Structure 1
Amino acid sequence: MVIKELKDHQQVIQKVIDHLGGDIEAACMMITAVIQKGNKVLLAGNGGSAADAQHIAAELSGRFVKERRALPGIALTVDTSALTAIANDYGYEHVFSRQVEALAQPGDLFIGISTSGNSQGILNAFEAATKLGCKTLGLSGRDGGKMNDLCELNIVVPSNITARIQEMHILIGHILCKAVDDLF
């Protein structure tokens, strides 16, 4: 079982290497341009994708590898009062879009993470971010889902297996953080 899991992981990462290098490079340019202009990065996802959003935000506001100044990375998944109030008053599908409306400014970057590419709360957040003039980056899997039409760049991990998609999302997140570190 262990060898099969490792080989499955290896097959997906090889597909990422073969087919997504250009998209990942474009995402690196997107996030570094936002940081260089003094804007912030907002991130959101559900479940494991929420954990990835929090992880990436922490790497920005804390540090990734290199000692540098703290950077504005905000996970929209961590404020339980906002999440529960918005879900109660507007519906769960609005928990991220309402926060984007409250926190985002033109030129900020919203990163939405969804293994299916169809999480309604993430889709609504992309719409809100676009209306506010934010840059938009998606991390998805399978066929990219509806996120393909709602973000400037949707990095679609070529797999239907949630675990493999999430493994690649955090790898891509770390590559983005490395690109940011390289600015300093």
Structure 2
Amino acid sequence: MTVESHLDGLTGTLAALRAQAPRVQRWGTTLARLLLDGGRLLAAGNGGSAAEAQHLTAELVGRYRHDRAPFSALALCSETSSVTAIANDYGYDQVFARQVTAHARAGDVVVLLSTSGSSPNLLEAAHAARRAEAVVWAFTGPLPNPLAALADDVLALPGEPCNVQEAQLVAVHALCEAFEAALPLAHRRAS
């Protein structure tokens, strides 16, 4: 693969993301309502997708574009003591599910990021979210995949895993744009 072919692949994946802009806008509006009402977002992924989960929660707890109050968002993959203890005691497929069971409440949003859509620990987290009556949003690679089948809504992107992961960062930023745009002006200026 050359640099040019890599970028050509990314171009196609980003075009598919652009086509899903209405979904990202809807998610941002929904998330603004949820977090303003005291709900929370939980996010998880493995490897690079873990980094994207952390990135998303950091933008919500910190700030994305505007100074504003912090909102409740937890990256389950960054809870290293919980992850390692749960993996040791219950198996790696339970590292996110047990945390979802502990933290998710009815109506909360659980965002699961995976380029393959087939990671057992994310599938178990989706099942745990359903039991908690939380909403599952999945960022995945190409359809069909098991995670997309379990999610309430999915942003599935075509392409090589590396291109999907790169586009997922763009999707995270787009979600933050939509989220902050949906906040009342007073909340966008609060610090």
Structure 2: runs of 5 or more not aligned: none
Q: Which residue of 2 aligns with 1:51?
A: 51
Greater relative contact order: 1 or 2 (C-alpha under 8 angstroms, separation 6 or more)?
2
Quick check: 2:126–2:151 contact (8 Å CA) kept in 1? yes
Partner of 2:179: 180
Secondary structure in 2 matching 1:77: helix
Residue 139 (str. 1) matches residue 155 (str. 2): no
Question: Aligned ranges for residues 59-138 of structure 1 at < 5 Å?
Answer: 59-138=59-138
Provide the identity percentage: 34
Deviation at 1:144, TM superposition (A): 4.3
Aligned residues: 182
Q: CA RMSD in A?
A: 1.3
Secondary structure, counterpart of 1:11 in structure 2: helix
TM-score (norm 1): 0.93
Residue 147 (structure 1) shift:
1.4
Shift of 1:181: 1.6
Indicate the SS of the match to 2:53: helix
Displacement of 1:11 in angstroms is: 2.0
Summarize the Cα distance change of 1:144–1:111 in structure 2 as closer, same or farther, 3 Å threshold: farther
Structure 1 residue 177, shift from structure 2 partner: 1.0
Q: Which runs of 5+ in 1 are unaligned?
A: none
Structure 2 counterpart SS, 1:25: helix
**Structure 1 segments of 4+ aligned residues over 3 angstroms from their partners:** none
